[in-house]
Structure formats: C-alpha cells, structure tokens
Chains A and B, each alone.
Chain A
Amino acid sequence: METLRVLVVDDETGMRLAVARVLNTYTVRPDESDEHAVRFAVETAETGEAALEMMSASAPDILLLDMKLPGMSGLDVLREIRERRIDTLTVMITAYATLETAIEATKRGAHDFLPKPFTPEDLRVAIRRVVRHLAVQREAKRLAEEKRQVRFQFITVLGHELKAPLAAVEGYLQIMKDGSAGSDPAVVSRIVDRALARTEGMRKLIVDLLNMTRIESGQKRRELVAADLREAAAAAMETVAAAAAARGIEIRLEAPDRAPMIADRGELDIIFNNLASNAVKYNRDGGRVTIAIDRAADAWRLRVSDTGIGLTREDAGRLFQDFVRIKNEQTRTIPGTGLGLSIVKKLAQLYGGDATVESEPGVGSTFTVTLKG
C-alpha cells in the first residue's frame, strides 16, 4: 500500500474541500491487488505563491493546479516548477480551456487537463491516469538503472579480461629484463611463444568485443544477400582444418547440396567459425565433429556436435552469457574470450532464431542454431 501526496491549488475553498473529500477516500488498484494499491493524502494551497513555497520544501507526487489564480497564474507556477526543477506531475484545472492556453501549458510541462466543472468520477479518472503514468515512469527508470548496472558489470569484467594477458606479457618482459630468464634458447623460445599466445588472445577478445558492440548497437551495416549455409559451413571447416588435423579430429558435413538463405555472409561466418572452433577445441584427441544443416518448418537448423568433454547441466545453463568460460582441469589451457557463444546467440536472434546446447559430460555436446529465412 502506497500513499501519494496530492497538492490542490485553487482559490475557491469549495473546490479545495471537494477534491480533498473525493481523493482522501479513494484507492486505485492498478493490478486489482491490495499490495500495489495507491491511496492519496491531499494538501491544499490558495495561491500559486503558497503552493511554490510548499513544493520547495517537499515536492508532492501530483499537483492539481488551477489555471486562474489570484497573483501568479497557473502558467506562471508551471514556469517556476520547471525552473526550480521540482519533480511533480501536474494536472491543470481549467474553466475556459482555450486551445492556446492548453498548448502553452503542455509546453511548460503540464501532464494532463481537467476541465471545470468536473464530477467526482471525472477527477477519479484523471487521477487514475496519472497513477498509471507514474507506474510506467518508475518502471522505465528501474529498467534504465538495471541496464546501467549490467553495463557496469560488463565493463568491470572486460577490464579484468584485458588486464590479465597484459600482466602475463609484462611478467615475461620483466624476467627477460632482469636476467632471471637466462639465455637458454628453449626457455627464451617458450617465453616468446607464451607472450605471443597471450597477445593473440587479447586481439581475439578485442575483435569479439567490437563484433558484439556492433551487433548490439544495431550500427553494423548488414549486407543481406543470397547466401548458402553449406558454403559457410565448408569455409568454417577449412578454417579449423589444421587445428583438427593436428589432434586427429575428423570433421563431417551433413547438409543438402544447396541450403540457400538471405543473410549477411559475415554473420554466418562468425556463427559457423565459433561453433566449429569450439567443437574442435573442446573435443578429445581422435574425436569427431559433425556439422548438420537441415530445414525445420520456417527456419534452417544448424547442429554442431562434438565428442568432447561435455558440460554439466548447470554449466550449460550459463554458457551463452558474456565472459562465461567453464573453468576446470580439462579447460584450463584452452584459450578463449568467453564472448563467442554470446555473439552466436545474439546473431541467431537477429534472424528470429536462437542458439541452444544439449550436452552430456564426458560424451559430447550438440549446439543448435536456428535461423529464420
């Protein structure tokens, strides 16, 4: 149960009393529940000057303001509210609402109008509208705050992910500088290889980050052309062929001869490359990767299966979130940015589809991406 403060500004005593009598006994239930019911506490002022003084001390949630007042007019009060940045929602009460004054009042920040004379029901309807507006406003504010928090969290993690490789490379430079690395060629070569691996990882992270930012901001210029999923899959297989061959992993493609789709070729490449490279990275030596493409209702379905380490149900549930990498003994030395699958999911959603995973620890995983079109 919440109580909103209403300030009624009118020079007619009868009007002030009538409004107070109606609202003091009125309850709005926006969702029929008592929990979110809203009641009203009415305060009154005879003049604009008195109202401003009261509002400067403490702003009411709702202001019912008569247009025609002795001294300052309703419009003058609106101007002052704006100048003093008083946070309140104003409903103008007007006897002779000319279009001109209505426009002027709206310009100065009035939210709604209540023409005089009005019935108690007219007043209740106007107040109900204001309550609904306040609820929407609050919800928007809450969402904006939530978005800000998510963004803050993302940047914090990103900062850490960028610092880690930098610290590793600095560490290697430091031990070369202070001479503790010595001059054994095997040691020097390992140091250089590791430093290069870490800078490469950092570069991949930055590329993923830029891709993701472009997708999310909607600023990426998409080139939707006649593409073929089979070709995109074949290109990704070529990209990971060397890494797969080095570990005796076989890659198979099960797809119709043609799998045409209007799509951005670059986006298809990102999807297939991420899934194929994961399927190789997290596979066992001598394992198998199967890329299957088929048609399901109004969408293409891409399935990439591996015979790798698999995932627990809990890990599978958070796998598509930003920066989530499953940390265990088997994944410890496998490089990755933690953004690949998050990007795949966002791209799939651009095509009205989705990305999901089914997995069994120690047996393998199947990633499924649906793309409408």
Chain B
Amino acid sequence: MTSQPTAPHILLVDDDEDFLYQHKIQLEHAGYRVTTAVTRAEAESIAAEVKPDLAILDLMMEQHDDGFVLSHHLKRLLPGLPVILVTAVTAETGISFSPNSGAERAWVGADAMLAKPIRFEQLKREVERLLGDRGQGTRG
C-alpha cells in the first residue's frame, strides 16, 4: 500500500497465484515493499537485481524441492539474507517438509519454516524477528 522507499524489501515466491496476491496485499499493508515471483528462475534474477532484505519461499513450485534449492542459491547470492520457507504439511503432500539431517538443514540454509496454512500474524512475527532492528514495516 503506502510503504516508503526505505521500507524493508521482501521477495515473495510462490506458484499459487492466490497465496501470492493475498500475502503481497497483507505485507504491503503492514508497510513492507514486496516483489513477487512465481518460479525459481524468476526469483533468482529478481533477487540479483533488487537485493531484497528478506525472502519468503514456497517449498513446492514446479519441482517438489524447488524451495530448498532456491533457498540455497539465494543464500549464496546474498549471504545474510533471511529466508522463510513456507511448506504444505506432510500429511497432504506425502513428502517430508523439513530437511532431515543437520547437513541438509545447513545446505538449505532457511532461517525459519512455516507450515501451510499459515496465519498472517505468525508470518509477520517471523518477518519482524528476522529483520531485527529493521523489522517494522513503515506502517508498523
């Protein structure tokens, strides 16, 4: 909505058009700048260009583990970029949504994992926590 140019910039990646639009609206309303992407390739090129302050990624895009790979790439591209992985629950997808071993977790490098369906308040708390001092959107 009325975020300032100085507001923290969030890269939001999901192939679900509705999830993307709803969270963009809510994050903008909370005062953040938001750029969206629907594929891993698109997200990587946008990230290189706009250098976001935080990324929110869906785990399952075209491939089941696209979110893991994207997280790994973004961490290499922008070291220190906080990454939140949003996942569909195991019961619905039949695949485990968290990396199993410490080595896997380190490779993925995500700072937080949230299971769908997520409440926006919960997402906002994680965003604020990970952004630290810069955590508040310009509208709070």
What residues of chain A have their CB less than 8 Å away from a CB belonging to chain B?
A: 156, 160, 163, 167-168, 171-172, 174-175, 178-182, 187, 190-191, 194, 198, 327-329, 332-333
Q: Which residues on the A side are within 8 Å of B28 (C-beta)?
A: 180
Q: Known contacts A182-B29, A194-B17, A332-B15; is A171 also within 8 Å of B22 by CB?
A: yes
Counting residue pairs across A and B whose Cβ atoms lie within 8 Å, the total is 48
User: Dominant SS at the B interface?
Assistant: helix
The answer to whether B18 and A168 have CB atoms under 8 Å apart is: yes
Closest to B121 in A: A178
What residues of chain B have their CB less than 8 Å away from a CB belonging to chain A?
A: 1, 15-19, 21-22, 25-26, 28-30, 38-39, 62, 92, 116-117, 120
- The answer for the CA separation of A326 and B21 in the assembled complex, in Å, is 23
Partner of A175, one of B16, B26, B92: B26
Closest to B92 in A: A160
Partner of A167, one of B17, B62, B117: B117
Q: Which residues on the A side are within 8 Å of B92 (C-beta)?
A: 156, 160, 163
Partner of B38, one of A168, A179, A187, A332: A332
Closest to B38 in A: A332
The answer to whether B39 and A329 have CB atoms under 8 Å apart is: yes
Closest to B89 in A: A160
Q: Which residues on the B side are within 8 Å of A332 (C-beta)?
A: 15, 17, 38
The answer to whether A175 and B62 have CB atoms under 8 Å apart is: no
The answer to whether B17 and A182 have CB atoms under 8 Å apart is: no
Partner of B22, one of A156, A163, A175, A329: A175
Partner of A333, one of B17, B26, B30, B39: B17
Q: Which residues on the A side are within 8 Å of B25 (C-beta)?
A: 175, 180-181, 187
- The answer for the CA separation of A163 and B25 in the assembled complex, in Å, is 22
- The answer for the CA separation of A181 and B1 in the assembled complex, in Å, is 9
Q: Which residues on the A side are within 8 Å of B116 (C-beta)?
A: 167
